[in-house]
Amino acid sequence: MTCGDLRPTHVGQKVTLSGWVHRSRNLGAMVFVDVRDRYGITQVMFDPRFSPDSIYKGAKELGHEYVIRVEGEVVLRESPNHKIPTGLIEIQAHSMEVLSEACVPPFAIADDTIDVHEDLRLRYRYLDMRRGDIVPTLIMRHKAMQVVRSALTEEEFIEVSTPVLSKSTPEGSRDYLVPSRVHHEHFYALPQSPQMFKQILMVGGLDKYFQIVSCCRDEDLRSDRQPEFHQIDMEMSFATQEGLFPIVEDLIRRIFHECRAVDLAPPFRRMSHRECIERYGTDKPDLRFEMEIVDATDLAKETSSALLNEAVSSGGVVRGLNVKGGARLSRKEIEAYQQVVVQFGFKGIAWMKRQDEGLQGGIAKYIGCNEQPRWIERFEMEVGDCLMILAGEKSRLLKALDQLRRRLGKDFDLIDPSRYEPLWVTDFPLFMWNEEEGRMESETHPFTSPHLDDLDLLDSNPIGVRSMGYDFVINGYEIGSGSQRIHDRGLQKKIFSVLGLTEEEIANRFGFFVEALKFGTPPHLGIALGLDRLIMILIGTENVKDVIAFPKNHWAQDLMTGAPSEVYEAQLKELGVTVGESTVGQN
C-alpha cells in the first residue's frame, strides 16, 4: 500500500505503510502522525489502547522527515479531512519501525507555501523535491518521453544514441571542452546538438532517426535556458516540410492529450518569419492575445511632432500598439512602461488616448483634427483605448514593442493560461551580418538549405536569401527549430564560401562531414524540440529549473554538488593542462 491508496472500502484491513513523517501532533492521550510518500498522505493514530507502550512512546519522539514503517488496521476517522483523498480513514497503529532518523531540515517541508530562496532550494534539491511540485513534474516529463518514444516508433523512426564526446566545431554558442588524457593539448567537445551525426545517419541509410538527447552550450543563462538541456531530436530522408510537419503536430497533440488532457487540433497555424516580425516584433509571438504592431510611418510625416518627424527623416519608422481599455492608465502608469523600452535605447513612449471628444493627451496635440480620423482608423481605436508609439531604427523598435506587448498582455489580463497556440514560423533568413566581426554568419547553422527560389541571390544579395528553416512556437516560446538540409556538396561548398570560410577552416571544422557528402546523400530534413521548454509549457511555469531534476543556477553552478569545482594537480598533470594555482587542489 502507498500513502495515497487507502479509502473507506479498506476499513478493517491490516496494512503496512512506509514513508516520511510529514507532521505529528501529540495530544497526550494519543499521537497523530501524517505519513507521506510521493502518492499522498495518510494519518496514523498511535493510541495506548491499541498500540504497545513502546510504540506509543516512540511515536512521541518522532521528528519531522523521519522515515518510518507502520503496521496497523484501517479505521474511519472521527474527524474527516476532506482536503485530501485519504481524509476519511486513518491507520490504527499496532507496530512501528524507524527506518531512518533525520536532522532538522533547513526549510519547512510540510508547508510548501513558505517562500524559500532559490539558492537554498537548489542546495538541498532532494528536500525541495519532497515539498512541492518537482516530483509530479518529473512524472509528467516521464510520460511525455514515453509518448515520444511510442509515437515516433509507430512512425518507424529508430532511436540512436550519438556521441557525447565529439569534435569542437565552433559555430554559434560556445562549446564545453573536455581535455584528452591520451592526446595532450587536444580536446573533445560536449555536443551542442547531434546535428552532423544525425545527418550522417541519413547518409548511412537510416532514413528515420530520433533521440531524446542531452546537449550542452556554454552561454549566458536566463529563465528558460540551462547550460545542459534536453531535446527531442529528429531527422528523416526523402521528405519535405509537408511530410515532417504532420508527424511533429501529431506528436505534440499526443503529448498534450496524455499529459494535460488538452486536445490540440492540427494542422497548426503557419506564418513566415517576415510576417511574424512585422506583426509582433519577434519570431516567437504569443498568439494567445491580439494587439498587433501597426505601422504609422506615413501618418507620422503629417504631424507636427519633432520626435516623430526626426525619426522618419533619419530613416527610421513609427510603429505602435493599441491598448484596448488603456485610457484608464494614468500618466504615471504609462511612464512606468517606459522602463520596458529604455533597455533598447529609447527615451520613452509617445502616447495618446481616444476619448469621446477625440484623441487627447500625450502627442495628440501634434495631430491635426483632420488627421485624427486616419490614426483612429489605422489602429482601430475605440473610445477608452490608448495608443503607445515608438519611433526610431526599425529592428530595435520592433524588439522593444515585442517586450512592451508581452508586458501589456500580462498587466491587462489578456492571456488565458489554459490556452495553447502552436505556430510554425517558416522562411527564416539564411544569413545574418555580424557587425562586431564584420562577416556573414548563419542564422542557425551552415547546413540549412537556401530557399530554392532565392539561389540566384547567393552572389548578388546573400543577406536577402531566405532559408528552408522553420521554428515551432507555443505561447511565445521557441519549442523547436529545424530545416531542410543541404544534401548537395557543391551547394554546401558555396554556403561555406559566402560565410568566408577558407578550405583549411572547412577541413578543420567540418572535414569529416564534408567527406560524407561525397558518397551519395539523400535529401533530408529534421527538427529538434526542446523537451525542457515543452514541459515548462505543460505545467505553466516560466522557470526551466522547475522541470529539471538537478538544474544549475543563474551562474551555471550546481549548488548541491558544488560543481564546477577544483580538481587535483595530479589529474591536471595527467591531462597536460596547466591552470592558475587558485583552481588546483593538492593531492
CA quadruple 144, 147, 151, 156: dihedral sign: positive
Asked if 504 contacts 496 with a C-beta cutoff of 8 angstroms, the reply is no
DSSP string covering 338-373: HHHHHTTT----EEEEEETTEEESGGGGGS-TTTHH
Domains of the chain: 8-100 (2.40.50.140), 137-273+423-556 (3.30.930.10), 289-415 (3.30.1360.30)
Distance between first and last Cα of the chain:
49
Classify strands 567-568 and 584-585 as parallel, antiparallel or unpaired. parallel
What are the distances in angstroms from CA 548 to CA 138, 140, 230, 556?
Answer: 7, 11, 10, 14
Which own/partner contact pairs does 367-372 have at CB distance under 8 Å and 24+ positions apart? 367/303, 367/305, 368/302, 368/303, 368/304, 371/299, 371/302, 371/303
- Per-residue pLDDT, averaged over 412-430, amounts to 97
- Per-residue pLDDT, averaged over 559-582, amounts to 89
Mean pLDDT over the full length of the chain: 94
Q: What is the pLDDT of residue 582?
A: 47
Asked if 366 contacts 351 with a C-beta cutoff of 8 angstroms, the reply is no
Q: What is the pLDDT of residue 350?
A: 95
Dihedral of the alpha carbons of 115, 116, 121, 122, in degrees to the nearest 10: 100
- Asked if the model's pLDDT at residue 584 lies above 60, the reply is no
Pairwise CA distance, residues 354 & 223, whole Å: 37
Confidence class for position 581, pLDDT limits 50, 70, 90: low
Grid coordinates standing for 452? 530554392
* Residue appearing with cell numbers 495628440: 364
pLDDT cut 70: percent of the chain above it: 98
Confidence class for position 373, pLDDT limits 50, 70, 90: very high
pLDDT tens-digit profile of 475-505? 999 999 999 999 999 999 999 999 999 999 9
pLDDT tens-digit profile of 27-53? 988 999 999 999 999 999 999 988 898
- Per-residue pLDDT, averaged over 59-67, amounts to 96
- Asked if the model's pLDDT at residue 121 lies above 70, the reply is yes
Encode 312-324: b = buried (16+ Cβ within 10 Å), e = exposed: beeebbbbbbbbb
Asked if 234 contacts 152 with a C-beta cutoff of 8 angstroms, the reply is yes
What are the distances in angstroms from CA 345 to CA 222, 342, 395, 397, 470?
Answer: 21, 5, 12, 9, 30
- Per-residue pLDDT, averaged over 532-539, amounts to 97
96, β-bridge pairs: 70
Confidence class for position 172, pLDDT limits 50, 70, 90: low
3-state secondary structure (DSSP) of residue 200: helix
The residues, any chain, with a CB within 8 Å of residue 337's CB and separated by 6 or more, are 349, 388, 404, 407, 408
- Asked if the model's pLDDT at residue 236 lies above 60, the reply is yes
- Asked if the model's pLDDT at residue 132 lies above 90, the reply is no
Count how many Cα atoms sit within 13 Å of the Cα of residue 115 in the half-sphere of its side chain.
0
DSSP string covering 251-297: HHHHHHHHHH-----SSPEEEEHHHHHHHHSSSS--TTS----EE-H
Classify strands 422-426 and 228-237 as parallel, antiparallel or unpaired. unpaired
Q: What is the pLDDT of residue 170?
A: 67
Confidence class for position 112, pLDDT limits 50, 70, 90: confident
- Per-residue pLDDT, averaged over 347-375, amounts to 94
DSSP string covering 458-515: HHH-GGGPBBSEEEEEETTEEEEEEEEBP--HHHHHHHHHHTT--HHHHHHHHHHHHH
Q: What is the pLDDT of residue 223?
A: 85
Pairwise CA distance, residues 199 & 565, whole Å: 36
Count how many Cα atoms sit within 13 Å of the Cα of residue 91 in the half-sphere of its side chain.
27
- Per-residue pLDDT, averaged over 368-394, amounts to 96
Confidence class for position 583, pLDDT limits 50, 70, 90: very low
What are the distances in angstroms from CA 100 to CA 39, 143, 365, 501, 553?
Answer: 20, 31, 75, 62, 30
Grid coordinates standing for 462? 546573400
Q: What is the pLDDT of residue 536?
A: 97
HEC secondary structure over 61-101: CCCCCCEEEEEEEEEECCCCCCCCCCCCEEEEEEEEEEEEC
Grid coordinates standing for 245? 510537419
Q: What is the pLDDT of residue 327?
A: 96
Radius of gyration of the chain (CA): 30
pLDDT tens-digit profile of 197-221? 999 999 999 999 999 999 999 988 8
Pairwise CA distance, residues 573 & 578, whole Å: 8
Residue 138: its H or E element: helix 134-154
Report which residue type is found at 488: D
Count how many Cα atoms sit within 13 Å of the Cα of residue 483 in the half-sphere of its side chain.
23
Please report the beta strands in 121-259, taking only residues with DSSP state E, as ranges in sequence order: 158-159, 177-179, 187-189, 208-216, 228-237
pLDDT cut 90: percent of the chain above it: 91
User: Which 8-state DSSP code applies to residue 41?
Assistant: E
Confidence class for position 270, pLDDT limits 50, 70, 90: very high
Q: What is the pLDDT of residue 50?
A: 86
- Per-residue pLDDT, averaged over 380-386, amounts to 97
Grid coordinates standing for 426? 517558416
Encode 426-447: b = buried (16+ Cβ within 10 Å), e = exposed: bbbbbbeeeeeeeebbbbbbbb
